Amino acid sequence: MQHLGFLWAVSAVVWGGTLIYVFTLLRRQNQLQAELERLKGAVADWEGVRSGGDASGSR
């Protein structure tokens, strides 16, 4: 029953490390998703503007 601190450290590294990695992945993906929505919206707007015959191109 010696050096049990090392055992706790290992458990913390394994699960902490995995959790941190998962959270960074999720956060990055949420950002990407937002960016994706924005771009899709932009494309849709654009096409809507063009088909509406408005040639001012305000965007």
Partner 1 sequence: MNRWSWWLAGVAGALGFAFLYLALIWSPPEQQMGDLVRIMYFHVASAWTALCAFFVTFVAALGLLLRGGERWDVVSACSAEIGLVYTTITLVTGSLWARPIWNTWWTWDPRLTTTLILWFLYAGYLLLRATLTGFERRAKISAAYAIIAFIDVPIIHMSVTWWRSIHPSVVDDSGFHMPPSMAGTLMFGFLSFFLLYLLLLWLRARGAWQKLEILRLGQAVRGLRLREERGR
Q: Does 44 bind partner 1 (CB under 8 A)?
A: no
Residues 6+ apart with CB under 8 A from 17: none
57 SS3 class: coil
Q: Does 48 bind partner 1 (CB under 8 A)?
A: no
* Shortest reach from residue 24's CB to partner 1, in Å: 10
Q: Does 52 bind partner 1 (CB under 8 A)?
A: no
Tell which one of 32, 51, 52, 54 touches partner 1 (CB under 8 A): 32
CB-facing half-sphere around the CA of 21: CA atoms within 13 A: 6
Contacts 24+ apart (CB under 8 A), 48-57: none
Question: What are the residues binding partner 1 (CB under 8 A)?
Answer: 1-4, 6-7, 9-11, 13-15, 17-18, 21-22, 25-26, 28-29, 32-33, 35-36, 39-40, 42-43, 46-47, 50, 55, 57
